[in-house]
């Protein structure tokens, strides 16, 4: 039995925010397995479990707020009588660019309240985690993680969730080292400006005059020879 825990906050106001990308990955796994809507509440989490493509999986979303995530993790492990090596925590990470992923077998919480709670409850930093990049905050970290995805991110979010779900399945099937070899180098396709908001809308592509509307005003887009993602 493998246990996948997606970190997030309960409540509609948090449902589509960057901080809840762990929940979104778990939801994508449940959709693939045909388990959507079959979960139940237990052990301070929304839990669904079953057999998927030869894997026995428990998918869980703690219903505590982020800073109490460890309570749900401890209860899940106790109920399933599972070793801590059989758990994968999926979490957001603004130290990674949007769309990048990193598997780790251990490590500090790095300022993430959910990871800090799990480390405190379990008394160890040695548990598997999949960190999903949400990009560096341009302003305050709290506003960034609790904010919604920008249009350029939203247009690629499905692709990222699919890749993260593939990564979770690879971990459950082959272990963290092999999954890391495959997915730590994953790169999301660049944003396609033609698929974003129309010219004149916030964060849309520039109009014929080369001017683009942003959240902070109108800006002229200057040509650049460097097209790499920053």
Catalytic residues: 19
Beta-carbon count within 10 A of 84 CB: 15
3-state SS, the chain, equals CEEEEECCCCCHHHCCEHHHHHHHHHHHHHHHHCCCCCCEEECCEEEEEEEECCEEEEEEEECCCHHHHHHHHHHHHHHHCCCHHHEEEEEEECCCCCCCEEEECCCCCCCCHHHHHHHHHHCCCCCEEEEEECCCCCCCHHHHHCCECCHHHHHHHHHHHHHHHHHHHHHHHHCHHHHHHHHCCCCCCCCCHHHCCCCCCCCCCCCCCCEEEECCEEEECCCCCCCCCC
Distance CA 8, CA 12 (A): 12
88, 128 in Cβ contact below 8 A? yes
As a residue count, the chain comes to 230
Could you tell me which of 177, 108, 155, 162 has the C-alpha nearest to residue 132? 162
């Amino acid at each position: 039995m493998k246990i996948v825990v997606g970190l997030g906050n309960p409540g509609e106001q948090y449902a589509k925010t960057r901080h809840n990308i762990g929940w979104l990955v778990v939801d994508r796994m449940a959709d693939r397995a045909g388990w959507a809507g079959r979960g139940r509440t237990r052990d301070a989490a929304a839990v669904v479990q079953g057999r998927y493509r030869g894997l026995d999986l428990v998918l869980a979303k703690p219903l505590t707020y982020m800073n109490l995530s460890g309570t749900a993790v401890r209860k899940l492990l106790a109920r399933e009588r599972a070793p801590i090596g059989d758990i994968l925590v999926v979490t957001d990470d603004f130290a990674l660019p949007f769309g990048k992923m990193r598997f780790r077998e251990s490590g500090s919480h790095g300022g993430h309240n959910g990871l800090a709670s799990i480390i405190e409850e379990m008394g160890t930093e040695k548990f598997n985690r999949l960190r999903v990049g949400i990009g560096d905050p341009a302003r305050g970290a709290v506003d960034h993680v609790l904010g919604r995805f920008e249009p350029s991110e939203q247009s690629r979010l499905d692709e990222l969730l699919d890749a993260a779900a593939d990564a979770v399945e690879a971990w459950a099937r082959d272990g963290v080292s092999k999954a890391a070899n495959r997915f730590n180098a994953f790169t999301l396709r660049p944003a396609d400006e033609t698929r974003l908001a129309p010219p004149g809308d916030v964060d849309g592509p520039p109009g014929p005059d080369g001017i683009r509307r942003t959240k902070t005003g109108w800006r002229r887009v200057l040509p650049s020879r460097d097209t790499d993602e920053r």
